[in-house]
Amino acid sequence: MTTQTETRKFEAEVQELLGLMIHSLYTEKDIFLRELISNASDACDKLRIEALTNDGLLGSDEELVIRLEVDKEAGTLSVIDNGIGMSRDELAENLGTIARSGTRAFLEQLKQAKGEAAAELIGQFGVGFYSSFMVADEVVVTSRRAGSDGGSRWASKADGTYTLEAFDVAERGTRVTLHLKPRAEDADPQTDPDFTEAWTLRSVVKRHSDFVEHPVQMEVEAQEPELDDEGKPKEDGATKTVVRMETLNSRKPLWSRDPSEIEAEEYNEFYRHIAHDFTEPGKVVHVRAEVPVEFSALLYVPKAKAMMMMEEPDSKSRLMLYVKRVLIMPDCADLLPPWLRFVRGVVDCPDLPLNVSRQTLQANPITRRIQKHLVSKVLGALREMLADEREDFEGFFEAHGRVLKEGIYQGADDEQRLSKLCLFPSSTQEGLTTLGDYVERMPEDQDAIWYLVGQDPATAASSPHLEAFRAKGREVLLMGDPVDEWMLQRLNEFDGKPLKAVDRGEVDLEGEEAKEAREAQEAEHKDLLQAMRAVLQDDIEEVRFSSRLKDSAAVLVGSEGGVSPAMERVMREMQGMDMPKTKRILELNPEHPIVAKLESFHGDEARKGALEDYTRLLYGQALIVEGSPVPDPAAFAGLVTRLMVGSED
Ligand code: ADP
């Protein structure tokens, strides 16, 4: 064994990695601490495992701990553990080369990425020990392997080389000392935190390493009241500075505990902590799976829209991903599909590598398995909530139902698992109904689930389209959310029953006799209907008599399988102005007195103008009633005014 100091060169890749790290613009420098604590924790685990077969290894120093030590004057921060330690050769091997599989590939990516993208990559990847050089200009590691008596010292300034020498280390384990880069007095603690400040370290540990199994401790100074001879605080309120050992991490991941031993309040507290939602969660989903993948998860379905819960701009799900209690990704998008993005929570999977990146995670079969498992658990919880806690479910659905409907649109409604959970207002029911309940209420001779998409459910509820359905006691689901229309592109059927829009195509509510009567009336007024069609030919495909109306004079009908006018407007806006306008049908109520009036104009050449005005008025009204704008509001207003002053002749 060499005893004198030797200087060695880093492996080329290491130097490259260091260079990238030092010069990257990465702002979240504090992840270095997560990496060092995680290494220290692994070292403790390794010792514990070796000690199982090697009795003497632990000695009297049984409690495995990680300590942070600050020397403000020297500007150093040390991370110390009494774990397995490293021999001189291990120091050279572990801290001079890149052993980790995946790191080389990462490096390639890092080289190609620039600026912020590189920064993002570093954050995602977790770059292990070498990330120390983001905050330190020199790092010194002294270590003593458990069971050996000598120690070694490794030191580097990231200048292409490191030194190795024998060093007297009193106790087993490793001390990593960072000589922190100088920091301007007035530096912004947000972007350039002071890692010699207790509160900085406390918050970084809380954020990234709260659930590390071994205690992370630090000596902190505190003010305590001075006591008098009787042991009571002195009257003058004098205090003295004392030094206390504080454990910074809570160490108790709820998710790894037995659910039967967890109080509801503990679950709620954790929800508040991670979701920043001060209401109680709607449902807690606590999963501890062993096969085929070992993982635990603690997920929450919110009861309503939390104040702080903002819709993610990129519509991705976000769960916290831990690997062996170390936070790897605070916002992992791959563990749940986007249409469950309202779920908050944590997944801990010891089978994933600590250095897993977003890219490798996506491709990892473990992720897919976990996702599948979690999806079925969350949907199960939602079904339970719908069945047993209807009020909570309605609150949840009001806030997040659109996200589920998006899932239907995206094709995730296998076995109607999402459509079963959707709630809709109905034309015959108080409150909201499910598709399942609608189908149960359907009379035998009804073969379709009827719905109407309006500007909003209230507009839909007052639509003339419902008149004949009301008269016949037929229930219509009232939809009014733009996402409903998207959803309906996919949701054509529920429980074997087709979904049909009441304002499109034919509706078959009248009996044979009524139908024949209507057709006879239509034949009788054929010329009138054609004349009206000629007036509206730019907008309207056909003018015909309706079987839909009871009180109103006119209504607009789309083609079967077409979209609602509101949707058409949205699509036109999205796709530019060129999208062709689909012409709809203007249906008149054959029983309405207006028909006779129109016919009287039609028969009188001198009142041709009045027929035109009335036709346009009927069309305009039909548009207004459904919530659509009239094409030329000024002309429409002019028409109405003329009618008001009685100049229709
Ligand atoms: P990773 O931890 O992902 O393997 P690192 O670069 O952080 O990558 O560390 C490289 C190796 O150095 C570790 O795998 C471990 O063997 C060793 N090591 C790092 N820190 C410690 C420590 N505190 N005690 C013992 N071994 C350590």
Instruction: Render pLDDT for 376-385 as a digit per residue (tens, 0 to 9).
Output: 999 999 999 9
pLDDT, averaged across the chain:
88
Q: Ligand 1, closest atom to CA 38?
A: 2
Given a cut of 90, whether residue 78 has pLDDT beyond it is yes
Give dist(CA 490, CA 266) in Å, integer: 41
CA of residue 4 to ligand 1 center, whole Å: 24
Contacts 24+ apart (CB under 8 A), 636-643: 639/613, 642/613, 643/613, 643/617
- Enumerate residues lining ligand 1, CB below 6 A: 35, 39-40, 43, 81, 83-84, 86, 94-95, 100, 128-130, 174, 354-355
Give the domain 512-644 fold: Four Helix Bundle (Hemerythrin (Met), subunit A) (1.20.120)
Mutate to test the pocket of ligand 1, among 13, 39, 86 (most ligand atoms within 8 A of CB): 39
Q: CATH 3.30.565.10: does it fit domain 6-247? A: yes
Q: What is the mean pLDDT of residues 150-163?
A: 95
The most confident of the ranges 359-363, 464-468, 512-516 is: 464-468
Lowest mean pLDDT among 267-271, 518-522, 613-617: 267-271
Q: CATH 1.10.1040.10: does it fit domain 422-501? A: no
Which pLDDT belongs to residue 560? 80
Which pLDDT belongs to residue 456? 85
Atom 17 (ligand 1): residue with closest C-alpha? 94
Counting beta carbons within 10 angstroms of the beta carbon of residue 412, is it exposed (0 to 12), middle (13 to 18) or buried (19 or more)?
Answer: middle
Which pLDDT belongs to residue 389? 96
Which pLDDT belongs to residue 56? 85
Instruction: Render pLDDT for 94-123 as a digit per residue (tens, 0 to 9).
Output: 998 876 555 666 677 777 776 666 655 665
CA of residue 363 to ligand 1 center, whole Å: 26
Which pLDDT belongs to residue 35? 87
Map out the domains of the chain as residue ranges: 6-247, 254-396, 422-501, 512-644
Atom 20 (ligand 1): residue with closest C-alpha? 39
CA of residue 334 to ligand 1 center, whole Å: 27
CA of residue 128 to ligand 1 center, whole Å: 7
Which pLDDT belongs to residue 2? 54
Confidence grade of residue 26 (pLDDT, cut at 50, 70, 90):
low
Q: Ligand 1, closest atom to CA 81?
A: 23
Counting beta carbons within 10 angstroms of the beta carbon of residue 575, is it exposed (0 to 12), middle (13 to 18) or buried (19 or more)?
Answer: exposed
Lowest mean pLDDT among 111-120, 173-182, 334-343: 111-120
Which pLDDT belongs to residue 564? 77
Pairwise pLDDT comparison (223 vs 463), residue with the higher score: 463
Distance from the first to the final alpha carbon of the chain: 115
Question: Can you give the pTM of this predicted structure?
Answer: 0.67
Given a cut of 80, whether residue 272 has pLDDT beyond it is no
Q: What is the mean pLDDT of residues 581-588?
A: 90
Which pLDDT belongs to residue 576? 65
Q: So what's the architecture of 254-396 in CATH?
A: 2-Layer Sandwich (3.30)
CA of residue 191 to ligand 1 center, whole Å: 27
Given a cut of 50, whether residue 308 has pLDDT beyond it is no
